[in-house]
Amino acid sequence: MESAGGHGHKENIISDDAATVDWRGRPSDRNKHGGIRAAAFVLGLQSFEIMAIAAVGNNLVTYLINEMHFSLSKSANIVTNFIGTLFILALFGGYISDSYLGCFWTMLVFGFIELSGFVLLSVQAHLPQLKPPKCNMQTNGDQCTEAKGMKSLIFFLALYMVALGSGCVKPNMLAHGADQFNKSDAKQCKKLSSYFNAAYFAFSVGELIALTFLVWIQTHSGMDIGFGVSAIIMAIGLICLVAGTLFYRNKPPQGSILSPILQVFVAAFLNKRQVCTSNPRILQGQQTELNSFDSTISNDTVNLHHTDRFRFLDKACTKEQEGNSNNATESRWRLCTVNQVEQVKILITVIPIFACTIVFNTILAQLQTFSVSQGSVMNNRITKSFHIPPASLQAIPYILLIFAVPLYDYFFVPFARKITGHVSGITPLQRIGFGLFVATFSMVSAALMEKKRRESFSSSGQRLSIFWITPQFLIFGLSEMFTAVGLIEFFYKQNLKGMQSFLTAMTYCSYSFGFFLSSVLVSLVNKITSRSSGSGWLGGTDLNKARLDLFYWLLAGLSLINFLNYLFWAKWYRNTCNRSLKRGHLDSTKQEFHSFLVPAKTDEEENLA
């Protein structure tokens, strides 16, 4: 087995390159295409794109209130719906890419749509004819005319063009950048791990610039100029993408990625009377896969072998009788291959891991809403003439991350790699778990600080310095570095043929579900607590009369429970997948099959990471 594996490794490197093509559709050359050079162009797009979208999203509520004259609650809902829709559309972008267009063309087409949205927003914000008459919402809010009709239509058209474009671009940036590395090559596996850290570094730099410099431009020069700057920045990002065309390794689209999944469930239902068997000879496609095991195949298209998990799905690939000649022409909606069924099993197995990050992103929603509200009632003066905008508090974790991410990649990962033998230092599952655990302390810090702030104001009327709010942002920034990157790496490395963009898009859906859960949780908590305390923990407009500290303690408890829940599912994932290893099956995701506490150490697993 070892000799076969060693021989297959060199062949896999060649075949992995053969599975990708250059811009003309010819097989890629590993000496000319891919690698750090090609990924750098994608990182450029990622940095500029997040810069453009973050500058709009983080200051959008101000524009909605002051310029479009929407109410505070309606403005908040518009922003929440915009962000939620943007991340949900990431699934659509991943599907279009994997099924029909490929990463590069999906980014180019929808990047242009996003750019067009920024331009239209700038035009709408600049022309008085496309906005309601000027009015001071703070002093004459009841008399101000809300944007309606064509003015409202143009604004929402532009806004959701941005959402559609950004949602479809985001997952493909990560997937296309990762595609530049040959996962069958141990050396490039290490570079792939570094790429995910570099991608998060680019994201942090873009966010930091957006929350400081670009927000400052919007505040002092007007939102029309701010939207225009976002358009220019997005155009620069697209130029970066196009500039790397000659160097990219492109994965061709595979056709519809949903049909093979649906076929498994339909076939399993239609064959529900079949008896599940462990005999591989009566499983459709198993013998072919066994015979072709030593052939030259890509790590992305490696044939999967039958496992015992989710046995009810095996009915989808169980033949009526051995040697039945009709099986060769049997419809895939009646009889699927083992490879097809095993991919669906992998997809089911990773869903609980994904679900455990939703509460994590619910905490993120609080830092972008209530924590900013905390900052607005604190002393934000630095000098007599300079004040820190509360929205800029969100830049705090990114200041930390632009230093922490390189230190993690260049010092911690090599050190941990020597101890664990794992290509990423620690496994993606361990990285996710550590981030989920640390996130709890962000809410503990927020609760303690809010209690101190309320008591200080109630006893002496003194406003605490805004810097007291820093720890909760710093702690969450550290946890996000582990959880977000770990989740992306975990999903991308799953052995699901042609679904890397779609799986990456699922990580963005976690953000969307987290924000929606936040809205439900806030409404539910306020409704329950209002029965015993008047306006409730989060009711009214006076934060000094609210009990935000108790709400933070509730989130800290939910976060801790979520972490314990994650440990259960991580162990379940390990146990479920380990059954495949015990049967001697090889699978490219087996780096995650070992104990959540003890990473993989074998050279073979490192090569397949």
More confident residue, 210 or 319: 210
Residue 48 has pLDDT above 70, yes or no: yes
Give residue 231's pLDDT band: very low, low, confident or very high (50, 70, 90).
very high
Query: What residue spans of 314-377 are helical by DSSP H?
Result: 338-355, 358-368, 370-376
Q: Which amino acid is at 595?
A: S
What CATH number is given for 352-568 in this structure? 1.20.1250.20
pLDDT interval class at 212 (50, 70, 90): confident
Q: With contact defined as beta carbons under 8 Å apart, do 355 and 269 qualify?
A: no
Q: Calculate the CA dihedral of residues 396, 200, 573, 586 and round it to 10 degrees.
A: -160
pLDDT digits (tens, 9 = 90+) for 426-436: 888 999 999 99
| Cβ proximity of 349 and 443 under 8 Å | no
The pLDDT tens digits for 370-418 are 777 777 777 777 777 677 767 677 777 888 888 888 888 888 888 888 8
Residue 449 predicted with pLDDT over 70? yes
| 555, 363 Cβ separation under 8 angstroms | yes
Higher pLDDT, 186 or 17: 186
CA–CA distance, 153 with 291 (Å, rounded to integer): 60
What mean pLDDT is predicted for residues 98-111? 91
Q: What percent of the chain stands above pLDDT 70?
A: 80
Of 392, 342, 384, 348, nearest to 367 by C-alpha is 392
Query: Measured between alpha carbons, how far is 484 from 428 in angstroms, rounded to an integer?
Result: 10
Please tell me the predicted confidence (pLDDT) of residue 497. 65
CB atoms within 10 A of CB 6: 12
Question: Of the candidates 301, 372, 305, 258, which has an alpha carbon nearest to the alpha carbon of residue 15?
Answer: 301
Average pLDDT of 207-220? 82
- Above 70 in pLDDT, residue 2? no
pLDDT, mean of residues 223-235: 91
Say whether pLDDT at 518 is over 80: yes
> Hey, what's the torsion of the CAs at 105, 110, 115, 116, to 10 degrees?
120
Residue 477: predicted pLDDT: 86
Cα angle 537, 539, 545 (rounded to 5 degrees) comes to 65
Q: Say if residues 162 and 87 touch (Cβ distance below 8 Å).
A: no
Q: What is the pLDDT of residue 557?
A: 94
CA distance 318 to 341: 11
**Structure-block tokens of residue 245:** 């065309």
pLDDT single digits (tens) 565-576? 999 998 888 777
Q: Name the token pair of 569.
A: 């599912």
- Amino acid letter, 428: P
Residues in the chain: 609
pLDDT of residue 579: 55
Query: Quick one: the chain helix, strand, coil %, rounded to 5?
Result: 70, 0, 25
Judged by DSSP in three states, 28 sits in: coil
Buried b / exposed e along 400-429 (16+ C-beta atoms within 10 A): bbeebbeebbeeebeebbeebebbbbbbbb
Beta bridge mates, 21? 27, 250
Closest CA to 62 of 223, 208, 200: 223
Out of 21-35, 62-76, 433-447, 472-486, the most confident range is 433-447
Contact 52, 218 (CB under 8 A): no
H helix runs in 493-586, sequence order: 500-529, 548-582
User: What pLDDT, on a 0 to 100 scale, did the predictor assign at position 60?
Assistant: 81
For the ranges 36-45, 435-444, 537-546, the lowest mean pLDDT is seen at 537-546
> Residue 600: its pLDDT value, please?
41
Per-residue pLDDT, averaged over 119-136, amounts to 86
Q: How far is CA 432 from the centre of its chain?
A: 13
**Fold designation for 33-255:** Growth Hormone; Chain: A; (1.20.1250)
What pLDDT does 324 receive? 47
Q: What are phi and psi of 583, to 5 degrees?
A: -85, 0
219 or 87, which is more confident: 87
Torsion of CA 472, 77, 200, 420, to 10 degrees: 60
CA dist 264 to 1, 347, 503, Å?
A: 31, 12, 18
Q: Residue written as tokens 């062949």? A: 11
For CA atoms 597, 603, 608, 609, give the dihedral sign: positive
Return the minimum-mean-pLDDT range out of 9-18, 45-54, 437-446, 547-556. Answer: 9-18
3-class secondary-structure state, position 21 = strand
pLDDT > 50? residue 187: yes
**For the chain, give me the number of helices (H) and strands (E)?**
22, 0
What's the CA gap between 453 and 599, in Å, rounded? 43
21-30, 194-203, 293-302, 316-325: segment of lowest average pLDDT: 293-302
- Cβ contact 50:209 at 8 Å: no
Rounded Cα distance, 462 and 451, in Å: 14
Question: Which residues touch 69 (CB under 8 Å, ≥6 apart)?
Answer: 132, 135, 137, 144, 145, 146, 147
Which carries the bigger pLDDT value, residue 370 or residue 141?
370
Ranges for all domains in the chain classified under CATH 1.20.1250.20? 33-255, 352-568
Rounded CA separation 144/75 (Å): 15
| AA letter at 46 | Q
Task: Give the range among 220-234, 483-497, 502-516, 584-598 with minimum mean pLDDT.
Answer: 584-598
- Cβ–Cβ under 8 Å, residues 495 and 587: yes
Confidence tier at 164 by pLDDT (50, 70, 90): very high
**Residue 169: band (very low, low, confident or very high) from pLDDT cuts 50, 70, 90:** very high
